[in-house]
Amino acid sequence: MFELSKEHEDFRKVVREFAEAEVEPHIATWDRDHHFPVHLVPKMGDLGLFGLVVPEEFGGSRELSEDGPFTALCVAIEELGRVDQSVGITLSAGVGLGINPILTYGTQEQKDRFLPDLVAGRALAGFGLTEPDAGSDAGATRTRAVRDGDDWVLDGAKAFITNSGTDITSVVTVTARTGSAADGSPVVSAIMVPSRTPGFTVEPAYHKLGWHASDTHGLTFQDCRVPSGNLLGREGDGFKQFLKTLDDGRIAISALAVGMSQRMLEEATAYASTRTAFGRPIGTNQGVSFQIADLAVMVEASRQLTYKAAWLKDELEAGRRSVAEVKQAAAVCKLYSTEAAVTATRIATQVFGGNGFMEEYPVARFYRDAKILEIGEGTSEVQRMVIARHLGLPTA
């Protein structure tokens, strides 16, 4: 059984107080108005949430979290996600997809240029991987980058990119074909495209089922020219980079799902204890209480799987675990926790009955927000594929 340290539990209290004071009173309005609360980002930066896995050299606090910086990040994501999933994904994507690629693969100059503002919450960064015709099949990437003198010239489109169109978005890291291998397979590289670069267009925000207070856009590139020094890592390493990025991101999404399931357990328990029917609380009926009991089991299992994976990630960074272990644990926790969260919202909404269908109750918002958890950072089908491969099962 994985038990969080006192440091992590004390940190949980700090983030929970922040979420309940700064997010809870306003989120119903932000959700209704599809409003991205950009003012929250620097406040989250002041709390140190964007710098948990970043060295002090760039304004982060990684060295201060002796019990595991990535685990601390998951605690923060869980607590924000317990109050609102949109704010939770803003942090998850801001670190996992925005900061981490630059931190892991960037040059000293690139880190010095972008990380201090990202860590402080003065800026956000996006990660442009998915395309209109290339999701899990990233090998179908059509966006191209052609070398022209000292520049890369990009043409193509990306879809469903988080934190890509805010007023404080500073850069989006984009995967693009930069050539072809001898066998005809694409050579994919990662290139950083600063916001407001000529030829880089942020499309209008999507009208989404959920995550209404999160920033999500399509992106297009037409003769978009950036310096050759904006290449992130080595040319041709784009596939390796985004696979590593997704492994970490899956654990973070799992933490987001844990926060959702925890909130559904709290909401369903409270409602079943006070809502009466036929002269008694509905929680006295086994048809209700057994569902909530099942929900409690799912919460506990999700949390254990998630923090085991987070611990393995921290152990990997310390050189005590393998990449394969983390990859498998990430797929396992992401698969179970996200599917459990979808079930949790269904159970909670059912417990609330007709009230669960009303937007004045938070279970309705969480019900809408849940489905994307089974899709983003690799679908449930992809997670099953990863797990099966790790078990040594034959592949097509």
Q: Encode the chain (396 residues) as per-residue pLDDT tens digits.
A: 578 999 999 999 999 999 999 999 999 999 999 999 999 999 999 999 999 999 999 999 998 777 899 999 999 999 999 999 999 999 999 999 999 999 999 999 999 999 999 999 999 999 999 999 887 676 789 999 999 999 999 999 999 999 999 999 999 999 999 998 888 888 999 999 999 999 999 999 999 999 999 999 999 999 999 999 999 999 999 988 988 898 899 999 999 999 999 999 999 999 999 999 999 999 999 999 999 999 999 999 999 999 999 999 999 999 999 999 999 999 999 999 999 999 999 999 999 999 999 999 999 999 999 999 999 999 999 999 999 999 999 987
**List of E strands, 138-183:** 144-148, 151-162, 169-180
In the DSSP assignment, the letter for residue 37 is -
Q: Which residues are catalytic?
A: 377
Which of 208, 214, 107, 224 lies closest to 176, judged by CA?
Answer: 224
CATH T-level assignment (fold) for domain 6-124? Butyryl-Coa Dehydrogenase, subunit A; domain 1 (1.10.540)
CB 52 within 8 A of CB 59: no
Please give the Cα distance from 99 to 190 (Å, whole number).
14
CATH T-level assignment (fold) for domain 239-390? Butyryl-CoA Dehydrogenase, subunit A; domain 3 (1.20.140)
Query: C-alpha angle with apex 159: 212 to 154, nearest 5 degrees?
Result: 140
In this structure, the number of other CB atoms found within 10 A of the CB of residue 395 comes to: 7
Question: What is the torsional sign of CA 351, 357, 362, 366?
Answer: positive
Query: Structure pTM?
Result: 0.97
Please give the Cα distance from 298 to 295 (Å, whole number).
5
Please give the Cα distance from 299 to 280 (Å, whole number).
27
CATH class, range 126-236: mainly beta
3-state helix, strand, coil in the chain (%, to 5): 55, 15, 25
CA 315 from centroid of its chain's CA atoms: 21
CB 163 within 8 A of CB 173: no
CB 316 within 8 A of CB 326: yes
Domain positions in the chain: 6-124, 126-236, 239-390
Please give the Cα distance from 33 to 24 (Å, whole number).
15
Specify whether the backbone of 88 is left (phi greater than 0), alpha (psi in -120 to 50) or beta: alpha
CA 120 from centroid of its chain's CA atoms: 19
Amino acid identity, position 374 = E
